[in-house]
Amino acid sequence: MSITDADIAFAKELFAPLGALTHRKMFGGICLYHAGDIFALCSSDGQIYLKAQPPMSDQLRDDGSTQFHNMPYWSLPDHALDDPEVATDLARQTMQTL
């Protein structure tokens, strides 16, 4: 399975308040970049994951996020999937821990 153009558009629209975003296709999914730094990925099934380190990764886990394999990426909590303000705020918080 490979990520769809609609999934890419959704992710970029969700994080649009961050400003200019770029993406690169990788392994059937994409990596999302802000100011040249990777901050999120979308898996081949369209699931969005934020790159996070403690303590932010702990907060995401406590909010019900799951880790992407053994990598430092945590799924975007369900409540953030339909709210660009919440999603963007979480992305900003995770970027501060990197």
Q: Is the pLDDT of residue 6 over 80?
A: yes
Mean pLDDT of the region 7-35: 94
CA distance 62 to 27: 28
pLDDT value at position 44?
A: 92
Which one, of 40, 46, 7, lies nearest residue 21 by Cα? Answer: 40
pLDDT value at position 53?
A: 95
pLDDT band per the 50, 70, 90 thresholds, residue 98:
confident
Domains of the chain are 5-96 (3.30.1460.30)
Give tens-digit pLDDT for 62-75. 999 999 999 999 99
Percent above pLDDT 90 for the chain:
93
What distance lies between CA 89 and its chain's CA centroid? 11
